[in-house]
Amino acid sequence: MSPGDERLFLDDHRPEELIAQTPVEPRDSSRLLVVRRDTGALADHRFHELPDLLDPGDLLVLNDTRVIPARLFARRRTGGRVEILLLERRGEEVWEALISPLGRLKPGELLMIEGEADESEVEFVGREGNAGLVRVADEAIIERHGRVPLPPYIRTPLDDPDRYQTVYAEQAGSAAAPTAGLHFTPTTLKRCRERGIELARLTLHVGVDTFRPLASDEIDAHVMHSEWYSVPEETVEAIAHCRERGGRVVAVGTTVTRVLETLGQHGNVCAAPRSGRTDIFIRPPYRFRLVDALVTNFHLPRTTLLLLVGAFAGTELIERAYEHAIERRYRFYSFGDAMLIV
């Protein structure tokens, strides 16, 4: 793919009226576009049909990260309002955060959390690149006054914060949801198991940098922000057994894909590190080592997520799939519909 073709692929238009503002009910009633890489065929389904679209012996790998109420609002002593988006714990009481406005804050400055009758505070520690560091001595503040950090293109308030969590979310630490997993219900997961499809989990705490648009047309110049991951021993064993029996490893989302392909870079998955940080940047051309099929949402233009999907299915096929989705009025982005790419 030439650089010009890559830019055209990245800049593909998405009608604003198709951006989903609210999730559907029930979760698995969302639409599911099946994309077949071998034939180029496209087929319209519903997500609750997923168990029948996979084969006995396949392995579904899920990201069990849990979104924390990471958005806090505070005021400076001067009265200025400050928005704080907690990204990642950096030590005891210290968090990396996106802070707006950041420019005039001084190290050691105390920020009063809005809504706290006793004027609870967080301390601005200093800058780190484009982000800041804050000390949260009382982490109960996060649970009491933090808000779910919905993406900026979602302008409708969310009545139930749990709708921005997967039904299998356990490990708290994400600033954003692994949105491909939002379509699953306990019934869908149960039907997968009954059909002989195995389930395995890993954890990658999603940072907002995952969704950061590419700053320029020079794809190779983009720097990925690293994210922490952990893979249980039983998941490594499940992947190895799936390979042995000839089943497919089905990644639920781009976050799972990035962790699996990080493991795959070590050759033998059983010898790969079980935890660490990954900054893998998957874009065309790329040879996938562990992922055989992918469940994913429809993504924003000019993002690394779209590049990853294009690397997996081929940019021409993905362009055609997106055109099909627009024509059929699929819903896009975090609360939108999904694709199964096989």
Checking if the pLDDT of 233 tops 80, the result is yes
For all residues of the chain together, what is the average pLDDT?
91
The pLDDT tens digits for 133-180 are 999 998 889 988 899 999 888 999 898 999 999 999 999 999 999 999
In a domain, 243, yes or no: yes
Burial environment of residue 315 by CB neighbours within 10 A (0 to 12, 13 to 18, 19 or more): buried
User: Do 173 and 261 sit in the same domain of this protein?
Assistant: yes
In a domain, 260, yes or no: yes
Supply the CATH number for residue 102's domain: 2.40.10.240
In a domain, 125, yes or no: yes
User: Do 32 and 77 sit in the same domain of this protein?
Assistant: no
Residue 207 confidence (pLDDT): 82
As a whole number of angstroms, the distance between CA 69 and CA 150 comes to: 10
Residue 183 confidence (pLDDT): 98
User: Do 178 and 282 sit in the same domain of this protein?
Assistant: yes
User: Do 233 and 130 sit in the same domain of this protein?
Assistant: no
In a domain, 151, yes or no: no
User: Do 52 and 96 sit in the same domain of this protein?
Assistant: no
Checking if the pLDDT of 8 tops 60, the result is no
In a domain, 152, yes or no: no
User: Do 22 and 99 sit in the same domain of this protein?
Assistant: no
Residue 2 confidence (pLDDT): 42
Q: What are phi and psi of 14, to 5 degrees?
A: -120, 120
User: Do 63 and 172 sit in the same domain of this protein?
Assistant: yes
In a domain, 192, yes or no: yes
User: Do 279 and 234 sit in the same domain of this protein?
Assistant: yes
End position of a domain, from candidates 111, 145, 179: 145
The pLDDT tens digits for 264-319 are 998 888 888 999 999 999 999 999 999 999 999 999 888 899 999 999 999 999 99
Structurally, the chain folds into a number of domains equal to 2
User: Do 236 and 183 sit in the same domain of this protein?
Assistant: yes
User: Do 211 and 303 sit in the same domain of this protein?
Assistant: yes
Beta pairing class for 59-63 and 249-252: parallel
Does the global pTM surpass 0.85?
Answer: yes
290: containing domain: 3-67+157-341
